[in-house]
Structure 1
Amino acid sequence: MTDTADSLDSLDNLVSLRVTRSGHVAEVTLLGPGKGNAMGPDFWRELPVVFRTLDADPQVRAIVLAGSGKHFSYGLDLPAMMPGWAEYLTGEALAAPRTAFLDEIRTLQESVSSVAAVRKPVIAAVSGWCIGGGVDVISAADIRLASADAAFSVREVKVAIVADLGSLQRLGAIIGEGHLRELAFTGKDIDAARAERIGLVNEVHPDREALLTAARELAEEIAANPPLVVRGVKDVLSVNTEQQVTAGLRYVSTWNAAFLPSKDLAEAVQAFMERREPNYQGE
């Protein structure tokens, strides 16, 4: 693929994402720089810039979103993100730091929501691991495809966090409340076969190369249709869930700003850094 659109020139210096274009299809690739394309400060800053730029580009009619290397994303880059949140997450945090943390959560939510808000269809192509924040991002896409080695996890509960970036708000309409509650309560991993059975992904392909080929072909098929009509279809479909998602995101951001700090969260972070199983006490 080659980038030929003048309006994409501003995206040349990205750190966490790469954007290319072929014809009317743009491809956004997660680059990390954290291991497994983990999502650190650069990612959350750059994601909305990329999708707003693609939204404004009249030459782009469909978007493919994929991870570089073997994995889509390990999710939130905890080592990169936690130092900046230390003040917010102590049990002694008063109104000012909690309000600042509320603003931080809503900024991250808006970053993910930029994927849903773009007026061109977005196809997420998932290979390898798609964990936590990765699931939030693909939940904001219009269509999800996977390779046979893909694995998914709404894993926030495992690190003493209520998922707050969109999975709990968007996945119910995609996979149904029963499946969503099971995944969110347990934090379990599911493979590509189950993801297809429950409707999280539309199709499973043998490997990453076949997956990307299928995603690009589907994007080209969409891009061949009248662009304003496709945009209208997405707009009409989004009305069904948009208000509910917005209200849910606002509620969970307020809930987490109030209740996220806990001894269990501190234990989760410590256990992660020490590479051991956490011992939760419900405190």
Structure 2
Amino acid sequence: MTSTTALRSLRVQIKDAVAEVELIGPGKGNAMGPDFWKELPEVFEALSEDETVRAVLLYGSNGHFSYGLDLAGMAPVFAPMLSAGGMDARKREGFRRQIKDLQDAVSSVSRCAKPVIAAVDGWCIGGAIDVISAADIRIASPAAKFSVREVKVAIVADLGSLQRLPAIIGEGPTRHLALTGEDFDAGRAYRLGLVTELADDVVGRGRELAAAVAANPPLVVQGVKQVMNRGQEPAVQAGLDYVQLWNSAFLASHDFNEAATAFAERRPAVFTGN
């Protein structure tokens, strides 16, 4: 596996058949920048192959899971297409491939042969929802706060939440959250079924759950995950493929530029549908 000392966005520790993967930044609120998107699939693919690992616990540092996509850090991903006004087909195709790479990074959590438990404290926004949606078990602290925020920045969420959340919380709640972009607290997340438990010491409880999973027959545990994923994966992948095309065609917009400018200027965005 990639040496923990070589990682910048994640810290990995393995003990008693449980791997702990901690989001550590380097951006504020563990925002997901280029390092994260490179390292996440490397780590989860390695853990999937590691026969000493039976379960994975995923959580954030410094009181938050993650603020989501690091817009400033990921600007180079968007810049080439936006600079061409969305009119350069080659750049649009390159952008589609970049979206696919980010999707594949999130899907590495779902593909991991070992069950993944996400323990959420503090904020879990946008791309962070995509990541926890790919986990097998989600728990939260009472202080956790969530948002499927992409609509607020003129983006159709494209990394898996629109594909995976309906099977977790239902289509109606998914549409509600994705269309409003509103914040919601841990109590609502629990009532919706996004998380299955609330715990004051959410990482401690996550460790207990991971240990319980790791104590079960490993091939049977992996089989449960594979069988349950089998029925969902074709529909999830079809949705991911479609949103690649949608965003490569429509993301370069006046509204997206307005969202980015308003974010930088710390003011409300005014969208025109252009």
Measured against the shorter chain, the TM-score band is over 0.9
Does residue 1:128 correspond to 2:119, yes or no?
no
1:67 shift after superposition: 0.2
Give, as a single letter, the amino acid of the residue that structure 2 aligns with 1:221: A
1:88 shift after superposition: 1.1
Does residue 1:198 correspond to 2:192, yes or no?
yes
- Residue in structure 2 matched with residue 263 of structure 1 by the alignment: 254
In structure 1, runs of 5+ residues without a counterpart are 1-7
1:70 shift after superposition: 1.0
Task: Check the 8 A contact 1:11/1:50 in 2, yes or no.
Answer: no
1:12 shift after superposition: 2.8
Aligned-residue Cα RMSD (Å) equals 0.9
List per-residue Cα deviations over 1:78-131 (Å, max 9, x = no partner). Answer: 011113421212534311100000010000000000000001000000000000
List per-residue Cα deviations over 1:24-53 (Å, max 9, x = no partner). Answer: 000000011110000000000000000011
1:96 equivalent among 80, 90, 96: 90
Does residue 1:176 correspond to 2:170, yes or no?
yes
Paired with 1:244 and 1:233, the residues of 2 have a C-alpha distance of 19
1:65 shift after superposition: 0.2
- Residue in structure 1 matched with residue 224 of structure 2 by the alignment: 233
Give, as a single letter, the amino acid of the residue that structure 2 aligns with 1:202: T
Does residue 1:113 correspond to 2:107, yes or no?
yes
> Alpha carbons of 1:199 and 1:282: their partners in 2 closer, same or farther (altered >3 Å)?
same
Paired with 1:42 and 1:71, the residues of 2 have a C-alpha distance of 18
- Residue in structure 1 matched with residue 156 of structure 2 by the alignment: 162
Task: Check the 8 A contact 1:87/1:93 in 2, yes or no.
Answer: no
- Residue in structure 2 matched with residue 137 of structure 1 by the alignment: 131
Task: Check the 8 A contact 1:116/1:142 in 2, yes or no.
Answer: yes
1:174 shift after superposition: 0.1
1:259 shift after superposition: 1.1
TM-score (norm 1): 0.95
- Residue in structure 2 matched with residue 280 of structure 1 by the alignment: 271
Give, as a single letter, the amino acid of the residue that structure 2 aligns with 1:154: V
Task: Check the 8 A contact 1:159/1:265 in 2, yes or no.
Answer: yes
- Residue in structure 2 matched with residue 147 of structure 1 by the alignment: 141
Task: Check the 8 A contact 2:141/2:186 in 1, yes or no.
Answer: yes
Paired with 2:166 and 2:174, the residues of 1 have a C-alpha distance of 6
Paired with 1:162 and 1:9, the residues of 2 have a C-alpha distance of 32
2:26 equivalent among 33, 44, 48: 33
Give, as a single letter, the amino acid of the residue that structure 2 aligns with 1:230: V
Paired with 2:217 and 2:273, the residues of 1 have a C-alpha distance of 54
- Residue in structure 2 matched with residue 4 of structure 1 by the alignment: none
**1:123 match: secondary structure:** strand
Task: Check the 8 A contact 1:164/1:252 in 2, yes or no.
Answer: yes
**2:45 match: secondary structure:** helix
Task: Check the 8 A contact 2:142/2:198 in 1, yes or no.
Answer: yes
**1:12 match: secondary structure:** helix
TM-score (norm 2): 0.98
Give, as a single letter, the amino acid of the residue that structure 2 aligns with 1:219: A
Paired with 2:2 and 2:81, the residues of 1 have a C-alpha distance of 37
List per-residue Cα deviations over 1:186-223 (Å, max 9, x = no partner). Answer: 000010000000000001112xxx11111000000010
Give, as a single letter, the amino acid of the residue that structure 2 aligns with 1:162: V
Does residue 1:68 correspond to 2:82, yes or no?
no
Task: Check the 8 A contact 2:65/2:128 in 1, yes or no.
Answer: yes
Give, as a single letter, the amino acid of the residue that structure 1 aligns with 2:17: H
Number of residue pairs the alignment of both structures matches: 273
